[in-house]
Amino acid sequence: MFEIQNYASFVAAILVFQLIPGPGTLAILNATARNGIAAGIGAVLGTLLGDMGYMVAAIVGLAAVMKANPALLQGLQWFGAAYLGWMGLQLLRRPLASGNGDQEARKSAWVYFRQAFAVSLTNPKVMLFFVAFFPLFLRADASALTLGVMIAHVTLLSFLYQAGLVLLGNAVARRLRTLPLLRTLATRLAGSALLGFSVKLALDNR
């Protein structure tokens, strides 16, 4: 279908990839927990735009250029590690919940869009993944349009999954607002996870 070989496996692989938690997932859940559905959707769109940029870059051959210039890839990886580490520290340094159940100060969805977009762009291994992923499902006689169709599949399925994650995360966040200690624990866990991603990326970059 659409000149994609093993089409069912292609769709299944996209869904499995979405189930693997990463920095983008944490950015979406963090935005939703702080400021609700609108903030979460903003983070979703930021993540998707960053991923789409890497998919397009993979197609036009930027991945090959980066492999030929390891310093460029290494620089992006160090920047990504530092940025994720900074976000994790910000969450860990937030004051403990006061117990009054007050909401976070309201921020626009645009703020979370930019944050998630930055998180996505500072993970260059996403692009390398797509470089390895797309050829697995391309037929020898596939046209150039096929890659565009594959990008559309990844983007649409990612949006549906991540939007569902926002709705679920918002329901959980409402419960946590009445349990400030659990809310603090969730924030600390998110911060620790971001630091973990930062350390892993830094170690892989040695």
DSSP string across 26-74: HHHHHHHHHHHHHHHHHHHHHHHHHHHHHHHHHHHTHHHHHHH-HHHHH
The single residue listed with the structure tokens 């150039």 is: 144
Q: Is residue 15 part of a domain?
A: yes
pTM exceeds 0.85 for this model:
no
One-letter amino acid at 165 equals: L
Judge whether residue 71 has pLDDT over 80: no
The 10s digit of each residue's pLDDT in 107-161 is 789 999 999 998 888 876 677 677 777 777 877 666 778 888 889 999 999 999 9
pLDDT band at 57 (very low <50, low <70, confident <90, very high): confident
Q: Is residue 109 part of a domain?
A: yes
User: What's 137's DSSP letter?
Assistant: G
pLDDT band at 101 (very low <50, low <70, confident <90, very high): very low
Question: Which residues form the domain of 169?
Answer: 7-204
**pLDDT for res 143:** 73
One-letter amino acid at 62 equals: L
| φ, ψ (nearest 5 deg) of residue 4 | -105, 120
Which of the residue ranges 10-24, 79-93, 179-193 would you say has the lowest mean pLDDT? 179-193
Q: Is residue 71 part of a domain?
A: yes
Of 61 and 73, which is predicted with more confidence? 61
Q: Is residue 77 part of a domain?
A: yes
The 10s digit of each residue's pLDDT in 43-52 is 999 999 999 9
143: CB partners within 8 A, 6+ apart: 3
pLDDT band at 56 (very low <50, low <70, confident <90, very high): confident
- 107: which 2 tokens? 């921020």
Task: Find the distance separating the first CA and the last CA of the chain, reported in whole Å.
Answer: 42
Judge whether residue 180 has pLDDT over 80: no
- 131: which 2 tokens? 């470089």
Q: Is residue 1 part of a domain?
A: no
Overall domain count for the chain: 1
Percent of the chain whose pLDDT exceeds 90? 19
Of 178 and 172, which is predicted with more confidence? 172
Q: Is residue 2 part of a domain?
A: no
Cα–chain center distance at 169: 15
Which of the residue ranges 63-67, 150-154, 159-163, 180-184 would you say has the lowest mean pLDDT? 63-67
State mean pLDDT over 166-193.
Answer: 73
The 10s digit of each residue's pLDDT in 4-43 is 888 888 898 888 888 776 788 888 988 988 888 999 999 9
pLDDT band at 178 (very low <50, low <70, confident <90, very high): low
| φ, ψ (nearest 5 deg) of residue 138 | -95, 130
Burial class (CB in 10 A: 0-12, 13-18, 19+), 184: middle
CA atoms within 13 A on the CB side of 126: 28
Q: Is residue 191 part of a domain?
A: yes
- Do residues 29 and 169 lie in contact, with contact meaning Cβ atoms separated by under 8 Å? yes
- Do residues 113 and 42 lie in contact, with contact meaning Cβ atoms separated by under 8 Å? yes
